[in-house]
Amino acid sequence: MDVAQLNGPFEEFKQDASIVTVELQNGNLYERVIVLYPNYVIAVAGKTELPFKPSQVVRVSQAESKNRKFKDSVWCFWYEPNQVV
């Protein structure tokens, strides 16, 4: 949550949801992550479960405009309180 708030606020596409890029400690990037601002990851494009641990996140930034198109990806939404970033 601190990381997201440090780098936000982000442009929203619906209510408090934003498509962001998440950078992990190991340098991996996830460029199409939907965050219910500021602290819940609710989907990652093309993934059926959270592909990283929230404790691995070092930076959250606004996704480039080409990656903020909701309809261009397959989204599997979930909600689990432990998936807080």
36: in domain: yes
* Contact of 51 with 45, CB cutoff 8 Å: no
The pLDDT-based confidence of 34 (bands split at 50, 70, 90) is: confident
| Structural domain count of the chain | 1
Give the model's pLDDT for residue 36: 80
Model pTM?
Answer: 0.68
Share of the chain above pLDDT 70, in %: 61
17: in domain: yes
Question: Pick the residue with more confidence: 51 or 64?
Answer: 51
> Which helix (DSSP H) or strand (DSSP E) does residue 41 occupy?
strand 40-44
59: in domain: yes
Tell me how many degrees the CA angle 68-30-81 measures, rounded to the nearest 5: 95
83: in domain: no
Domain of 57?
2-72
User: Is the pLDDT confidence value at 70 over 70?
Assistant: no
Whole-number mean pLDDT of the chain? 75
81: in domain: no
